[in-house]
């Protein structure tokens, strides 16, 4: 079955450490890619998205993600995390032949220690 995989379910980092969260998908065609974040007690909000063009996408709060088509990956990165980045992060994929449906990964819970 086609799916979206986030390999790290829980990540604990100290402040100023670098972050990379993995996301892989199994759709073979053209896709739109998203990272959403859910801060404690808040609703999901968009971090960044990729539709086409430059495969390195910059989002809010210093996050970026790189689309590597050959690896079916869209990993999220941040050079130096802050305590306020503690949240759950979701990768989502919309295959262009799947109408309006977003498929989400299982999420990664990030805890940043002050």
Partner 1 sequence: DAGITQSPRYKITETGRQVTLMCHQTWSHSYMFWYRQDLGHGLRLIYYSAAADITDKGEVPDGYVVSRSKTENFPLTLESATRSQTSVYFCASSEPPGTDTQYFGPGTRLTVL
Residues of this chain that interact with partner 1 (CB under 8 A) are 4, 6, 9, 32, 34, 36, 42-46, 49, 90, 92, 94, 96, 99-107
Of 13 and 91, nearer to partner 1 (C-beta) is: 91
Helix (H, G, I), strand (E, B) or coil at 18: coil
Q: Least distance in Å: CB of 52 to partner 1? A: 12
Which position has the token pair 């980092």? 13
CA atoms within 13 A on the CB side of 51: 0
* Radius of gyration (C-alpha) of the chain in whole angstroms: 14
Nearest distance, CB of residue 105 and partner 1, angstroms: 5
């Amino acid at each position: 079955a086609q799916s979206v995989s986030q390999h790290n379910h829980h990540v604990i980092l100290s402040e100023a450490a670098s972050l990379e969260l993995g996301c892989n998908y199994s759709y073979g065609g053209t896709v739109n890619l998203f990272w959403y974040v859910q801060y404690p007690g808040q609703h999901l909000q968009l971090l960044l998205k990729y539709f086409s063009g430059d495969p390195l996408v910059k989002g809010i709060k210093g996050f970026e993600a790189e689309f590597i088509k050959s690896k079916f990956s869209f990993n999220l990165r941040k050079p130096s995390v802050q305590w306020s980045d503690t949240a759950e992060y979701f990768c989502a994929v919309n295959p262009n032949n799947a109408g309006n449906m977003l498929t989400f990964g299982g999420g990664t819970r990030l805890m940043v220690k002050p």
